[in-house]
Structure 1
Amino acid sequence: MADKLARYRSRRDPSRTPEPVPAEPPERPEARQGEGDREGDGDAFVIQEHHARSLHWDLRLEHDGVLASWAIPKGLPADPAVNHLAVHTEDHPMEYLTFHGEIPAGEYGGGAMTIWDHGTYETEKWSDREVKVVLRGSRASGRFVLFRTNGKNWMIHRMDPPARDPFPPLEPMLPVERVRPPRDEEEYAFEFAWGGRRTLVPIDGGRTDAARAYSWLRALAASFGSRSAVLDGEVVTLGGAEVLVCYDLLYDDGRSLVAEPYAARRAALEALGLSAARWQTAPSWPGQAAPVRQAAREQGLPGVVAKRLDAPYEPGPSKAWLLIPSPGTSRK
């Protein structure tokens, strides 16, 4: 039998990478009676999140004593209406089922690799041009088909119904200007009006369209890995650099939050722990109108925004968000 790991081995030096590099060709497993549709099929899979030159996910399926592998730049598709590119790569050794670690810079595939999910799968079809499987993992589950399109380029299609809510319409909720804070201020959270450029940041597959305007947001999107999100905030200049100040979360890990009250959305936003040189979570103070207005005046900000704690996210102008300008800064 031909050495199925020859290509894998030729690309790696075991003295320079922590990856498993077996010295001998893999042995073909015993045929399993009644399992799969081809002799030698195993049933283990792993998906690794790979922060290499570009973020992607590696799907590996046990087959004929090795791990058949595809690099998927945007991860598994959650919606059957959208197929994702899957680049067929060299077979990997079975030891790769548990591999995680840092592949040194300069080596093939250099970068951090973590195990995103693992489990078992069932084979419905396996040919040189089409692989149809049922994944049974903790994060990845359901029926998928990989089909070849051109050379090493394949596509992966989800055959089950959508696994997540659709993204909400990307139209921001806007405050209505008011001279004084609301009387029932305990029902509101008070935040600074930043006076920046309002920006919605959809994140999917470690990427964001907002990077077209702000290239530095690519790093923010990559930090989310496979977690999908829609952030709401403003791009402001702080300390001479543009910074994204986030103050709302419309979508989180496959679930739309627009119908949730602001207090719940705010808690979910804070749980993300967004804090870096170019992005941060805006401070928020429930029921504290006077001290927040005073701080806004002292910092030369346009005013404060009062947000009802029980209000859903309503695109367009909404009386649930009130802009109270600092003296002399009315926008009217």
Structure 2
Amino acid sequence: MSDKLARYRSKRDAQRTPEPVPGSPPPSSDGNAFVIQEHHARSLHWDLRLERDGVLVSWAVPKGLPADPGTNHLAVHTEDHPMEYLTFHGEIPQGEYGGGSMTVWDTGTYETEKWSDREVKFVLRGRRASGRFVLFQTRGKNWMIHRMDAPARDPFPPLDPMLPAERAKPPRDASAYAFEFAWGGRRLLVPVEGGRTSAAREHPWLRELAESFGSRTAMLDGELVTLGGAEILVFYDLLYDDGHALTGEPYSVRRAALEALGLDGGHWQTAPSWPGEADAVRRAARDQGLPGVVAKRLDSVYEGGRSKSWLFIPS
């Protein structure tokens, strides 16, 4: 019987990596387990592994599973892995093959609809990943993965930022608003999908932020400002989170979801917000030389373009 794990063993030294390195060929089995691991190696990717004949047949998927049938994702066919990898997680030392952090993103069972050397059709039944998929070979070890069904997932909102109307004085019903600094910077919407963002083309340092989201899909609204001589991206709204559009939710709900993300890095942070504190925030903006404050109705939905639900009040 051929040793399906020979290539796997040839790439690893059991004395140098915590990964399982079995010493003998695996027995044949008819199991139907799968695992998806989030792998922060040289570049973020997800490892999809399907149990087949006693091993885990594996593909590295740089952008994760496609969320809908309209997009195919690259899937690189890698060496078979041992069954122990169903539960493996940990830190593979840098310098070793696949060095980096690995966590179990999802696990469960799958149903095979077709399995050939060039095409694999299957149904995943996991906690986070479910649905019908097909893997098909394009060239050599490069395959593509296609989603065959349509999950319940909201489309991304349009890239049209909400803008405040100008007003000379704060609104009388201050308790109905949250007050934030008007930074006087450049507006930036940041879509995050598959651990990547198109905004990193112009701002490469955003790659680290996108990777921190893992497989979580999001759309962040913020502003590029200069603080203490450094360029900082301050975020003040969340328009999309993990498959759900938030644009129809009240600002208070979106703000709570944004704060729950805990965005605080070397180049980005969550902008402060003070409900009902019109006068104090306006004085602070004036003291710091900022152009003014923005009053945002706590019950306002997110609507592209200029809106009277957001008010710019000069300092």
TM-score, scaled to structure 2: 0.99
Matched, 1:84 2:73: yes
Matched, 1:24 2:24: yes
The question of whether the paired residues in 2 share the 8 Å contact of 1:79 and 1:163 is answered with no
Unaligned runs of 5+ in 1: 30-40, 327-332
What is the match of residue 105 of structure 2?
A: 116
Offset at residue 143 of structure 1 (A): 0.7
What is the match of residue 284 of structure 1?
A: 273
214, 230, 252: which one aligns with 2:241: 252
- The runs of 4+ residues in structure 1 deviating greater than 3 Å are none
Q: Deviations over 1:139-162 (max 9, x none)?
A: 001111111111111111111113
What is the match of residue 32 of structure 1?
A: none
User: Equivalent residue of 1:87, what SS?
Assistant: strand
265, 273, 278: which one aligns with 2:254: 265
Q: Deviations over 1:302-324 (max 9, x none)?
A: 10000011110010111110000
Matched, 1:232 2:227: no
Matched, 1:322 2:290: no
CA RMSD, 1 decimal: 0.7
The question of whether the paired residues in 2 share the 8 Å contact of 1:171 and 1:316 is answered with yes
User: Equivalent residue of 1:91, what SS?
Assistant: coil
Offset at residue 42 of structure 1 (A): 1.7
Q: Which residue type is aligned with residue 11 of structure 1?
A: K
What is the match of residue 177 of structure 1?
A: 166
Give the 5 Å matches for 1:106-185.
Answer: 106-185=95-174
Offset at residue 240 of structure 1 (A): 2.0
Q: Deviations over 1:87-129 (max 9, x none)?
A: 0000000000000000000000000000000001111110101
User: Equivalent residue of 1:15, what SS?
Assistant: coil
User: Equivalent residue of 2:79, what SS?
Assistant: strand
Unaligned runs of 5+ in 2: none
Matched, 1:53 2:42: yes
Offset at residue 239 of structure 1 (A): 2.2
* % identical equivalent positions: 79
2 CA distance for matches of 1:145 and 1:214? 35
User: Equivalent residue of 1:90, what SS?
Assistant: coil
85, 90, 95: which one aligns with 1:101: 90
Q: Which residue type is aligned with residue 24 of structure 2?
A: E
2 CA distance for matches of 1:161 and 1:259? 22
User: Equivalent residue of 2:32, what SS?
Assistant: strand
Q: Deviations over 1:166-213 (max 9, x none)?
A: 110011000111100111111110000011110000000000001111
